[in-house]
Amino acid sequence: MSDSNAASFAAHKVWDLLTSLKLTIVCLTLLMLLVVACTLAQVQLGTNAAVDLYMRSFLVWWPVPGAGWSIAIFPGGATVGLVLMVNLAAAQGQRLERSWKKAGIWIVHAGLILLFVGEFVTGVFQVETQLAIEEGQTVNYVEHPRQQELTVTDVTNPAWDEVHSIPEGLLGDGEVVQVPGTPLALRVRRYWENAQLAMPGPGFQPVANMGVGAGVQVQPLRPVAADDRSNMPAAVVEPVAGGRSHGFWLVSGQLGATQEFVHEGRTYSLAMRPRRQYLPYSMTLKKFSHDVYEGTNIPKNFSSLVHLSNPARSESRDVLIYMNQPLRYAGKAFYQASFGKNDTLSILQVVENPGWLLPYISCTLVGIGLLVHFGISLRRSLRRRAAAAVEA
Amino acid sequence: MKLIKVGPWVVGLAAVAWVAAGLLPARPVRGMNIDAFGRLPVLEGGRIKPIDSVARNSLLMIRSQMSFRFEEEVGGQKVAHTVGADEWILDVLFRAEVADAQPVFVINDPDVLSLINQKLSQTNRYFSFREIRPFLPEIQAQASVAEPIDPKQRSRFQGAIVNLYQRIDLYLRLQNTVQVPAGPPLQAELASVAEPSARERHSLLASAAFFRPLPPQGDLKANWRSVGEALREAANGAAPDSGLGSLARVGAAWRAGDVASFNGAVAELRAFGVAAKPEAVAQGDHEIAFNRVDPFYSGMVIYVAALLLVFASWLWLPQLLQASAFALLVAGTIIHTGGLVSRVILQGRPPVTNLYSSAVFVGWGAVVLGLILERMYRKGFGTAVAASSGFASLIVAHHLTGDGDTMEMMRAVLDSNFWLATHVTTITIGYSGTFLAGAIAIGWALRKHIAPNLLPATDKALVGMAYGVICFALFFSFIGTVLGGIWADQSWGRFWGWDPKENGALLIVLWNAIILHARWGGFIRDRGIMTMAIFGNVITALSWFGVNMLGVGLHSYGFMDKAFWSLSAFCGSQLLLMAVALAPRRFWQRGSAPPGDGVARPA
């Protein structure tokens, strides 16, 4: 057998495998196992971490106890999904007859492929943020609840602030970050992914020598993954400019006080806050309502009456956002998610997902496809029964 | 010959008549018309319902039964009689000393029993409030330790003591709804409403009241009020609510056994209700009928009867009994359907709103599918499978009623009739289909070993049925799952979040898809389909109830801890049945099984 023959034989083998129904069943079974594992893991890890571990990964890694490294023990959801999609597409082209009898199956499989594509698009492109807004307040930004940023704000001019933000990912022990547009550089002396602040106890050693942070103790915590908790990062930074140090400052979202220093006549303020994304429009909360059923505490409805204003589009209108009724605007969807401060604070979940329409199309396709296919099968089976009855 | 035509009709109509007999009004107690009292509308749990429903649900929660035997001293003689829910609540409200002596608290936990100085005995598990009262401080202390603990982490004793404490709390709130048991009766309270010492009792009544009996008057936007609130308004100089006087007379007459006064005062209260909220009174009458007929319980009994008749038909008078069984199944379906429709009308919502109603609906779906199969194949097999699925799911529903009102209000995010009607109903039909396929497969497996001779035609028909039902189930569970994703996208912005309940639904879809693809690929045949269909029962049960036990995710509204063992037992039994399905026919009779009995071969 020549090399080219062997190659074509191997290619045939691979092609057969890719188009085989066995592969479909193996993939579906693997997917079931992954789903079961992911569901059980949620009790310990929380939904996000479990999904990242099993579904949004190409391989499932298992940390070898005590070894400090992991080995891949199972294909992840992304791998199985991709293989299944390739299998589906290949089998469709190769094996299935192109006849009206199989029209239903064709539509179903097209819909399924779209569903997988939608899940990939969501996994890659979906951004979830929050918009917390108090009654009467106007907000023109959304926040990433799980990411923080270090901000250096030039507050010299009382009329406006000039905000420079440094994403949390750039912070790390010993890193030096240039603040663009300013003469400043920040030396990161210490960085904690998750830490709580406490009053100084015995044996207190200050980590900072400037601002309120000088009198606060930092207690490092393990990073958390559960859905209802998020990390509270902290850092000690040293602003340096023109060869001059402005001291060691502690920054953390838990510090309420403003921390400012002056360099060459300009006042800068340092803070750690949830990462913000500014919007070209703003929202004002006019009224938040929390209705309950009469004589009970069972919530009936939550709604936020919001005034939306977008000067660029010369838009200015009121919108009511309530349960099951989000506002879709400029590529983002705003959902009523939570509330606080005695029903005066409304928290909106903001989701940006370019693929949000795909599942709707896919569902329609699969529904129609299954109806067509089972309809054809049922007709055939009824005919056979009728024929059998005539014979008998 | 004639009997074969008439017999089934007689059987079916008799069953319907038996259920309809439940509509007869309750017998008067000591001459007093407690039926009319039970119809009075009140507000409880955010919903307007007749007192009868409050009484039934409360007694069900406290005693796990809707009536009990009680010996009362009447004129020096001990008379035992059955106390129904309406009579019981009248005693709780107005004759605290009688109610306190009634054995309504069921206690099964040995540790809780020893806490109240009782031993576990076969004969008596029911205790009166009077017997429990001396131990209240201890019960409260134990419960306050256990209550903050997450229900999943509680020990058996902790779970039981919290449960007892909650039932005592419910009982005491009921007792403090109209009048303070240790204080003056409502009539005296009304006479001295302005006295400063009464203020404290008004506040107690307003905060403790379990339900609100006084409909809003005049102003349409006004709220229903509790007795305490109405008394407080009267104390502040407002004219007393006209309902208060009548309610006081109901109480006085109930204590004194004054028939004319009781019936008159109840009629007055009803007239007030009609004037203020005519639709509430009409709805109350409807709900009373629903309570009396108890369609899901009667349906369950009829399904059992149908099942027994099918079994009998395989031994004796096949044609007559099989037709009669089918007639019973139809009667059961009519009653089951009537109950569902009633619930939909009463609640103003689609049929599935909580775990309880999902069980009722799953059963209904399976029964209707089974009816259709029986009409198509006419082998008695559809009847058997439909009746047993209907019976099993109504039993499950029956055990899910312990949480009180099964028509509770929907929490905000679930308050969407459109999605309840589409996603929830579709996915529940998917459950029905998967369970029905499993039930057919179980029947196939048992028949293989029990039936003396197997007709290949019947075998083929059964596999055909299971195959068709699996296709049906795949369709509905897929559509239901994706609709759920779309609802999630509408309400919190993500189509798919790998939430345990979503995953459960996905597992059902995947499993049905695997069965069908394995069949299409020729990897499995009859035996494979049937065995896999039985495993579908396990997957469906786990995703229906099991994920609720994990207690994580957005769907954990239906958390339950007690059902864990029942669920495990169910899954175990299904695995056993899978082994039965896989085993060669009558393997115990042969020395060794011949190889290749129905083994899957690629087509």
Summarize pLDDT for A76-121 with one digit per residue, the tens. 988 998 899 888 888 877 766 667 778 888 888 889 889 888 888 8
Yes or no, beta carbons of A32 and B507 under 8 Å apart: yes
Query: Is the predicted pLDDT of residue B533 greater than 70, yes or no?
Result: yes
pLDDT of amino acid B596: 41
B394: nearest Cα among B347, B465, B312, B333: B333
What confidence category does residue B466 fall into, taking pLDDT thresholds of 50, 70 and 90? very high
Residue A183 has what DSSP assignment? Answer: S
B285: nearest Cα among B87, B49, B56: B49
To the nearest whole Å, the CA of B105 is away from the closest chain A CA by: 26
Q: How far apart are CA B337 and CA B344, in angstroms?
A: 11
pLDDT of amino acid B599: 39
pLDDT in tens, B109-132: 888 888 887 776 666 788 999 989
Q: What does the pLDDT average to over A330-356?
A: 87
pLDDT in tens, A354-389: 888 888 898 889 889 988 988 888 888 888 878 877
pLDDT in tens, A139-168: 999 988 888 888 988 888 888 888 888 888
Q: How far apart are CA B332 and CA B300, in angstroms?
A: 8
pLDDT of amino acid B221: 61
Q: How far apart are CA A178 and CA A150, in angstroms?
A: 12
Contact B357, B44 (CB under 8 A): no
Residues 6+ apart with CB under 8 A from A29: B514
pLDDT of amino acid B598: 41
User: Which is it for strands A234-241 and A244-245: parallel, antiparallel or unpaired?
Assistant: antiparallel
Residues of A (351-390) whose Cβ lies below 8 Å from B: 351, 353, 356, 359-360, 362-363, 366-367, 370-371, 374, 377-378, 381
Tokens representing residue A299 in the block:
């919530």
A292 contact B CB<8A: yes
pLDDT of amino acid B220: 59
A268: nearest Cα among A200, A194, A341, A211: A211
To the nearest whole Å, the CA of A45 is away from the closest chain B CA by: 11
pLDDT in tens, A54-85: 988 889 888 888 777 888 889 998 899 889 98
Query: Is the predicted pLDDT of residue A271 greater than 60, yes or no?
Result: yes
A225: nearest Cα among A90, A78, A51: A51
B520 contact A CB<8A: yes
Query: Is the predicted pLDDT of residue B555 greater than 60, yes or no?
Result: no
Question: In a 3-state reduction of DSSP, which class is residue B455?
Answer: coil
pLDDT of amino acid B238: 80
pLDDT of amino acid B341: 93
ipTM of the complex: 0.79
Contact A374, A101 (CB under 8 A): no
Task: Identify all chain B residues contacting A366, using CB atoms and an 8 Å cutoff.
Answer: 478-479, 482
A274 contact B CB<8A: no
Task: Identify all chain A residues contacting B552, using CB atoms and an 8 Å cutoff.
Answer: 42-43, 46-47
Find the CB nearest B503 among A38, A46, A300. Answer: A38
Distance of CA B475 to the CA centre of its chain: 28
pLDDT of amino acid B54: 93
Concatenate the DSSP letters of all residues of B31-91 into one string: TB-HHHHHT-EEEETTEEEEHHHHHHHHHHHHHSSSEEEEEEEETTEEEEEEEEHHHHHHH
Yes or no, beta carbons of B511 and A51 under 8 Å apart: no
pLDDT of amino acid A90: 85
In this structure, of A317-321, A381-385, B224-228, B405-409, the range with the lowest mean pLDDT score is B405-409
pLDDT of amino acid A97: 67
Concatenate the DSSP letters of all residues of A285-306 into one string: EEEEEEEE-TTS--EEEEEEEE
pLDDT in tens, B391-417: 998 988 888 776 667 777 777 667 666
B557 contact A CB<8A: no
| Percent of chain B residues past pLDDT 90, beyond the cut | 33
Yes or no, beta carbons of A24 and B47 under 8 Å apart: no
B223 contact A CB<8A: yes
B290: nearest Cα among B81, B89, B57, B104: B57
Contact A35, B506 (CB under 8 A): yes
| Percent of chain A residues past pLDDT 70, beyond the cut | 96
- Give kind and range of the element (H or E) at residue B443: helix B425-450
Q: How far apart are CA B358 and CA A6, in angstroms?
A: 58
In three-state form (DSSP H/G/I as H, E/B as E, the rest C), the secondary structure along B92-151 is HHHCHHHHHHCEEEECCCHHHHHHCCCCCCCCCCEEEHHHHHHHHHHHHHHHHHHCCCCC
Yes or no, beta carbons of A295 and B416 under 8 Å apart: no
Residues of A (37-96) whose Cβ lies below 8 Å from B: 38-40, 42-43, 46-47, 50-51, 55
Contact B407, B46 (CB under 8 A): no
What confidence category does residue A202 fall into, taking pLDDT thresholds of 50, 70 and 90? confident
pLDDT of amino acid B559: 43
To the nearest whole Å, the CA of B422 is away from the closest chain A CA by: 13
Q: What does the pLDDT average to over A274-298?
A: 87
pLDDT of amino acid B80: 84
User: Which is it for strands A259-263 and A266-292: parallel, antiparallel or unpaired?
Assistant: antiparallel
pLDDT of amino acid B460: 85
Distance of CA A358 to the CA centre of its chain: 18
Evaluated on CA atoms B489, B493, B495, B497, the torsion sign reads negative
pLDDT of amino acid B338: 93
Burial class (CB in 10 A: 0-12, 13-18, 19+), B327: buried
Query: Is the predicted pLDDT of residue B106 greater than 70, yes or no?
Result: yes
Residues 6+ apart with CB under 8 A from B289: B23, B342
What confidence category does residue A233 fall into, taking pLDDT thresholds of 50, 70 and 90? confident
What confidence category does residue B558 fall into, taking pLDDT thresholds of 50, 70 and 90? very low
In three-state form (DSSP H/G/I as H, E/B as E, the rest C), the secondary structure along A117-168 is HHHHHHHHHCEEEEEEEEECCEEEEEEEEEEEEEEEEECCCCCCCEEEEEEH
Find the CB nearest B517 among A21, A119, A356. Answer: A21
pLDDT of amino acid B351: 84
Task: Identify all chain A residues contacting B507, using CB atoms and an 8 Å cutoff.
Answer: 32, 35-36
B43 contact A CB<8A: yes
pLDDT in tens, A250-266: 988 888 778 888 888 88
A25: nearest Cα among B510, B316, B290: B510
Evaluated on CA atoms A73, A74, A75, A76, the torsion sign reads negative
Residues of B (527-556) whose Cβ lies below 8 Å from A: 547, 550-553
Place of tokens 């009519």: B334
Task: Identify all chain A residues contacting B212, using CB atoms and an 8 Å cutoff.
Answer: 295
Contact A22, B521 (CB under 8 A): yes
pLDDT in tens, A1-52: 566 777 788 888 888 888 888 999 999 999 999 999 998 888 777 777 888 8
Evaluated on CA atoms B476, B477, B482, B486, the torsion sign reads positive
What confidence category does residue B6 fall into, taking pLDDT thresholds of 50, 70 and 90? confident
Angle at B140 between CA B136 and CA B142, to 5 degrees: 120
pLDDT of amino acid B78: 80
Yes or no, beta carbons of A39 and B550 under 8 Å apart: yes
pLDDT of amino acid B594: 45
Place of tokens 């919007």: A279
Question: In a 3-state reduction of DSSP, which class is residue A329?
Answer: strand
- Mean pLDDT, chain B, rounded, equals 85
Yes or no, beta carbons of B479 and A31 under 8 Å apart: no
Yes or no, beta carbons of B498 and A50 under 8 Å apart: yes
pLDDT of amino acid A389: 75
Residues of A (94-153) whose Cβ lies below 8 Å from B: 115, 118-119, 122, 126, 128
Concatenate the DSSP letters of all residues of B372-434 into one string: HHHHHH-SSHHHHHHHHHHHHHHHHHHHTGGGS-TTPPPPGGG--HHHIIIIIHHHHHHHHHH
Contact B16, B335 (CB under 8 A): yes
pLDDT of amino acid B404: 67
Task: Identify all chain A residues contacting B409, using CB atoms and an 8 Å cutoff.
Answer: 293, 296, 298, 300
Distance of CA B333 to the CA centre of its chain: 17
pLDDT of amino acid B390: 92
Concatenate the DSSP letters of all residues of A192-260 into one string: ESSEEEE---TT---S-SBSGGGG-EEEE------TT-----EEEEEEEETTEE---EEEETT--S-EE
Concatenate the DSSP letters of all residues of B190-235 into one string: HHTTT-TTHHHHHHHHHHH-SSB-B---S-TTPPPB-HHHHHHHHH
pLDDT of amino acid B600: 39
Q: What does the pLDDT average to over A193-210?
A: 83
- Which of B415, B487, B544 has the most A C-beta neighbours within 10 Å, making it the best mutation to test the interface with A? B415
pLDDT of amino acid A392: 63
pLDDT of amino acid B502: 85
Yes or no, beta carbons of B504 and A377 under 8 Å apart: no
To the nearest whole Å, the CA of A383 is away from the closest chain B CA by: 13
pLDDT of amino acid B89: 94
What confidence category does residue B593 fall into, taking pLDDT thresholds of 50, 70 and 90? very low
Q: How many CB atoms lie within 10 A of CB B430?
A: 27
Query: Is the predicted pLDDT of residue B169 greater than 90, yes or no?
Result: yes
Yes or no, beta carbons of A359 and B489 under 8 Å apart: yes
